Amino acid sequence: MLMQSHEWAIYLLPVLSDAWPSGSVDGLVARGRFKVEMEWKDKKITKLVIHSEIGGDCRIRLNQQVQNKKLKIASGENRNELNYFASIKEPITSATAPELDAYIPENWMYDFKTAPGKTYTIIDKKEN
């Protein structure tokens, strides 16, 4: 999976197949109308560019730490109203379904403010 866009964040490379240790993608659109361009090598993002169509707060979740002056460590709720998620009062479950073990890699969340029509380079392979 290359991207998830829910729970107030854009999660990049949340579950990357072993068949795709390196690659690139352009044109993925997340909630909040954020267009994502990224490249990765050895399952780590080497280039990340986000274009904000309409502006607002952008929260990204990554499986790697990033040093970028545009970013701040995320805390609390993301205030971008387009990044809502529906509340589920009672999930639908099966009493007979087996419990699944899932590996969730360590991850970091970052926030940054965006303006309509602007592009933000978050990670640039030249800097790595």
Q: Is the pLDDT of residue 37 over 70?
A: yes
Q: Which residue has the higher pLDDT, 99 or 110?
A: 110
Asked if the structure places residue 114 within a domain, the reply is: yes
Residue at 49 is within a domain: yes
Residues 6+ apart with CB under 8 A from 60: 9, 10, 11, 12, 48, 50, 109, 110, 122
Strands 108-114 and 9-12: what pairing? unpaired
Q: Is the pLDDT of residue 128 over 50?
A: no
Structural domain range at position 74: 3-84+102-127
Domain assignment present for residue 94? The answer is no
Query: Does the residue 92 lie in any domain?
Result: no
Residue 95 lies in a domain: no
Mean pLDDT of the chain: 85
Residue 31 domain-assigned? yes
Number of domains in the chain: 1
Per-residue pLDDT reduced to its tens digit, 100-126: 666 667 899 999 999 999 999 999 986
Determine, yes or no, domain membership for 96.
Answer: no
Q: State if pTM tops 0.95.
A: no
